[in-house]
């Protein structure tokens, strides 16, 4: 009877452990998968590659918009760059960001302040809220600009044009 109990106990422990097991691939939350999830921008790879990958797929620019991703360039302190979603535009030179893995390893920060400190007012140099000091970070960070969540409209994408036909009904034509 003892053998049966031990086997049952061992099987129960094994079954319970699978309910709470952490997958082998689990790790620290990174900025890229988080930005992809909250923005809907489907780009993969290191953050410093997002700006180039977005070309021709998503509109890019230097004007902050809610839902856009601010793409930070690689630098000595950020060798693989960083990406963060704009959750609110406060002014042309201040936004609130939602992002992961900035102030705290694997942590998520929502609606934290970021300001444009670039000489040309083009969001190529940015200071971002840093939790451990409770203020904007002491250094600025190089950025490439904003990637907008709407896919880019290029010349080889069909555009539908609606018009009225002779009977007054609508007809849809594809233009290339």
Q: Which two tokens stand for residue 125?
A: 């140099």
Rounded to whole angstroms, the Cα distance separating 36 from 56 reads 18
pLDDT in tens, 48-96: 999 999 999 999 999 999 999 999 999 999 999 999 999 999 999 999 9
Task: Report the phi/psi class of residue 142: left, alpha or beta, with left for phi > 0 and alpha for psi in -120 to 50.
Answer: beta
Residue 169 lies in a domain: no
Residue 122 lies in a domain: yes
Rounded to whole angstroms, the Cα distance separating 82 from 43 reads 13
**Closest of 27, 133, 115, 126 to residue 82, by C-alpha:** 126
Tell me the pTM. 0.72
Residue 165 lies in a domain: no
Residue 105 lies in a domain: yes
Counting Cα atoms < 13 Å in the Cβ hemisphere of 127 gives 11
Question: Number of folded domains in the chain?
Answer: 1
Quote the radius of gyration of the chain (alpha carbons, Å): 24
Residue 126 lies in a domain: yes
With a cut of 70, list the residues of the chain below it in pLDDT. Answer: 1-27, 151-176
44: domain CATH number is: 3.90.1720.10
Rounded to whole angstroms, the Cα distance separating 104 from 130 reads 9
pLDDT given for residue 153 in this prediction: 59
In angstroms, the first-to-last Cα distance of the chain is 78
pLDDT given for residue 99 in this prediction: 98
Residue 163 lies in a domain: no
Its domain, for residue 74, covers 31-151
pLDDT given for residue 150 in this prediction: 78
Residue 157 lies in a domain: no
Residue 41 lies in a domain: yes
């Amino acid at each position: 009877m003892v053998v049966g109990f031990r086997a049952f106990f061992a099987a129960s422990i094994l079954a319970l452990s699978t309910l709470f097991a952490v997958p082998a691939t689990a790790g620290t939350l990174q900025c890229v998968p988080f930005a992809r999830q909250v923005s809907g921008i489907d780009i993969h790879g290191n953050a410093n590659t997002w700006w180039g990958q977005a070309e021709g797929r998503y509109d890019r620019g230097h004007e902050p918009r809610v839902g856009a991703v601010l793409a930070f360039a690689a630098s000595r302190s950020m060798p693989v760059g960083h990406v963060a979603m704009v959750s609110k535009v406060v002014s042309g030179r201040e936004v609130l960001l939602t992002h992961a893995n900035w102030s705290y390893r694997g942590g998520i920060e929502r609606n934290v302040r970021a300001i444009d400190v670039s000489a040309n007012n083009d969001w190529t140099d940015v200071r971002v809220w840093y939790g451990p000091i409770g203020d904007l970070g002491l250094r600025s960070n190089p950025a490439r600009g904003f990637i907008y969540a709407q896919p880019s409209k290029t010349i080889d994408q069909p555009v539908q044009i609606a018009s009225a036909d002779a009977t007054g009904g609508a007809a849809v034509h594809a233009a290339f």
